[in-house]
Structure formats: structure tokens, C-alpha cells
Amino acid sequence: MSIKISHITFVVKDLELSATFFERIFKAKVVYSSLSAKYMTVNNVWIALNKGDSLSERSYNHIAFQIQDSEFSNYLNIINEMGLDIKSGRPRSIGEGQSIYFYDYDNHLFELHTGTLNERIDSYQLPDDVVVPADLTAIEESQNDYERSEAVSHSDINKV
């Protein structure tokens, strides 16, 4: 028997806003659209957006997408530009890869991760006392830089 994931469904309050979220971050392509649903593909994975109420609570349940190390800063900039909430990461072993955890507009948690399953397993072979704390310095600095640039651009608008 062969089994694979058919599709992933997200219930969202605003179909257009959520479609833009998937298009900007995951380069999703809309393949079907109605008043109550949008179907998209991300690298041949079917993503279904169904109109409904947002999740009432946030949790650690999430979907992780693999990205390249060289793309990390670019994705962080896009997430900041979109004003999305970034969640603190967990402590990591050396060699496990970097992650950005962030929520969409309906409280779904996503992760962009630079590592692979094999790299994670290999990193666990290190001594137990070799753990890298969740270092959000780069993420926090990026968010602060973006907020400062937005404040400046808004103050320039007010001068006009």
C-alpha cells in the first residue's frame, strides 16, 4: 500500500488575505477559487483554504517548510513586512538548523526551517550538554530595524 499526504486544509476568516499570505511566503499558486474556498499548490502540495472562523487559541501544532540557509534573512524580511507575529524558537542542538516560527492571520503556526531530518538526528548524537539556546537576536534585530524604518516612513508621510 502506498500512502502520501493528499492535501492540507486551513480554516481562515479572510480568503484573500490568507491567499496573499501563502503567495508571498510560500510562492503558492491559486488553482481554484470560490466564495468559500481557495485551492493552492506549494511545490505540488495541495493547500486548501476554507472560509470559517479563526482558531481561538494558538498552539505549538505547526507545519514546517524547508528553506535554504541563504534564504533565511529574505524570509525573515518578508514576514516582518507582512506584520506577522514571530514566536520564540526552542533551544536547539548544534547542527540542527535555524527556524523562524510565525503565525498567520488565523492563529496557525508555521515554521521555516533550514535543516533536514538527517541533520537533526545527527545533531542529537552530540553530548547532551551541547545545546544551543534559542537565539532570537537576529530575528529581534530584524524586527526592530523594520519597525524603525516603518516609523520613519510613516513620519515622512505625515510631513507631506
**Full set of structural domains in the chain with CATH:** 1-52 (3.10.180.10), 54-160 (3.10.180.10)
Question: Would you say residue 159 has pLDDT above 50?
Answer: no
**Of residues 106, 3, 96, 109, the one with CA closest to residue 65:** 109
For residue 33, what pLDDT band results from cuts at 50, 70 and 90? very high
What is the distance, to the nearest Å, from the Cα of residue 110 to the centroid of all Cα atoms in its chain?
4
CB 81 within 8 A of CB 73: no
Active site residue 140: no
Contacts of 117 (CB under 8 A, 6+ apart): none
Catalytic residue among 23, 71, 96, 111: 111
Each residue of 89-113: pLDDT tens digit?
A: 877 777 788 899 999 999 999 999 9
Give the cell for residue 119. 541533520
The residue count for the chain: 160
**Of residues 137, 25, 134, the one with CA closest to residue 83:** 25
- Tell me the whole-structure pTM to 2 decimals: 0.74
For residue 124, what pLDDT band results from cuts at 50, 70 and 90? confident
Strand partners, 29: 41
CA distance 57 to 42: 26
**Continuous H helices in the chain:** 15-26, 72-81, 117-123, 137-159
Strand partners, 63: 110
